[in-house]
Chains A and B, each alone.
Chain A
Amino acid sequence: MTDKNMQDKPFKKSPFSMQMDLSKFELASDSEKAQQDVMRESTTFFRDGIRRLSKNYLAMGSLIVLALIVLLITIAPVFVPYGYEEVIRVDGKRDRSLINLKPFTWSEKEQEAIDQGEKLFPHIMGTDDLGRDYFIRVLYGTRVSLIVGLFASLIVLIIGLLYGSISGYLGGKVDLFMMRIVDMIYSLPDMLIVILLAVVLEDALKERIAGTILAKVGVNMITLFIVFGLLYWVSMARLVRGQILSIKENEFVLAAKASGASTGRIIKKHILPNCISVIFISTALQVPSAIFTESYLSFVQLGVKVPMPSLGSLANAARNGLQSFPFKLVFPSVMIGLIVLSFNLLGDGLRDSFDPKLRK
């Protein structure tokens, strides 16, 4: 009875019904359809950041300077016929006047050889006190400093990322315990401990690694890496943990959890993309500080050791005879300044274009 009644009755719409009354609509005209067309290609976060970065002249300039430096230190050693630890000889004989040459000058014997029609490669930055080509030494020094800077930042990044994300994601007592350790390392006066460890590790490792592949890398390099790995990861770990803690509380993570996403997927797809830019920027800014530390240690004769040059040890060596050969200080100093300045400006530029908080 009731069923029949309902069927017979004409359908009456409730005022709150979502059902549409088709008679009130009409087809869109072509011009209206055209308005819906996407005029500009949709952009991703990364592409947008790159676009912003390319408009930042300082950052782009630094990028070009860095690219030029990298190009120089990889290509130039192929063309320069001198080795970084090679004491230059003319016709197989040592030349007394070859030491401490000014840039673009020749020693007496070299001059004789040139007069006889021989072609020699110019000493672009002169020679040092042992008669080694200074240009190639500065190039190798730059190489060492850059490699140390990049690798050290990489080590810091890896340790900090792992430690920080574990601590931040697990939370609770584990987090508390892990962060206490970080607090303790963080409150150590880092430079003093770095100096101390550099002394100790160098002496302790020298005998252990003799004869292995590691010996080829050089004990000083390994020492530097270990020192960085031991001390400088803490600020990165703190940064990562803080990022993860704040992102973890967001609604979209809750939504992902509610729709059944696994922990791995949440970290990979939801949390990491949100903090990756901040981490990346901080890594870029870590490089100059690592180069600073390395050159500082080399300056107090604790870093890379002879005959391998580093910008810091070159600057230190230049202090002898500063009065007569000031150019020997100027070249490595300018190089350090240029690299550190470029990285700093690039890091600032990256932050301006990629940090979600600073974007407008």
Chain B
Amino acid sequence: MKFTFKAFLLAAAVAVSFSAGMTAPARAVLEVDVNKGVVEPLPIAITDFLSADGLGAEISGIVSANLQRSGLFAPIEKAAFIEKISNPDAAPRFEDWKVINAQALVTGRVTREADGRVRAEYRLWDTFAGQQLAGEQFFASQANVRRVAHIISDAIYERLTGERGYFDTRIVFIDESGPRNQRMKRLAIMDQDGANARFLSDGRSIALTPRFSPSRQEITYMSYEGGQPQVYLLQLETGQRELVGNFPGMTFAPRFSPDGQKVIMSLLRDDGNSNIYVLDLRSRATTRLTSSNAIDTSPSYSPDGSQIVFTSDRGGRTQIYVMNSDGSNQRRISFGDGTYSTPVWSPRGDLIAFTKQTGGEFQIGVMRTDGSGERILSSGFSQEGPTWAPNGRVLMFFRQAAGAPGPQLYSVDLTGRNEQPISSPNFASDPAWSPLLD
């Protein structure tokens, strides 16, 4: 399956502006503050996009679900709408939307071109200012209709929050099926809302911990297919797989460097401890970064590539450490009560997400990169493995509730107040969020 790029899809995107002399007075532009602790979600009316078939409503439905899941928007029940949009090119009756407290309004239309392509257009309105905030149209094949809906969602989110969106993204994860003691664990990929799931491995051997390359074209993961568990690289477009490096023993816990040129991972030593190595994908040169008599694992680069966060039990219980990317200046940053693991550096660079075990619970939390300001966002019987949305505002992780037959994916925002289950075909674990593509 071809991996379509946003740039390709957007080639035909044109800004649609409402030119019929809108004379709204200048007014503070509608904005959602994503930093507020207790965000009142913004009431937004998302009308069914006009179309000859159900496609318009399908697209606006995807937009509505995305915005609602973000926790920053409260789509208004369609039954409350007063005006029925019949001409999306004309200004709506703003009074009709203000009276139901719709601060923002989304209208649109979906038509089919003669060549079979779908043409989707939307407009975003500030009802209280009485002006259009955004408008674009997109042309896409039928297969890319959901992507168009995600791109529209991103545009609305960006216009109203001032932050990058994250809806036109994918998740690689481990699909889990079968009995718990003989579970099949397959590489899989899906859209961030759980749609379009497909398998990337056949399930004959266990695959674990997939992670995207910055280009979204490659995945590094760990697999038991060679008998010995080792780190592999998968080209998404071609399906080509290769072993990463020529290490004598087990390799695991891989991640890409931010420039995509290196893979960092753990290598098992003969004495049973594990240290962190980095492999240059071009030169194949390997560099050892840690050498403690301990389990050093779960390395993750800072977004500028200058530092690496990892875990080690060199001091007893497993804690979070940071080092320079050449291995120098290794220092512990977590000092809380309990065991810390799976640190992941935020794409914004400001925070490190982690799993913490304390008091018989597993928690998902964040701390600043010096270890201060620890905040727990989610607690449960068993949950782990946070991954960042590319805008650094939302985390996804996996949870196995006590007595549950298998794990499921969840997302939680940085306030910890908006936790959402993410649908998946079967049980799912080890989510990794793709970057956005510019």
Query: Are these two chains actual partners, yes or no?
Result: no
Q: Which residue numbers of A lie inside 8 Å of B, CB to CB?
A: none
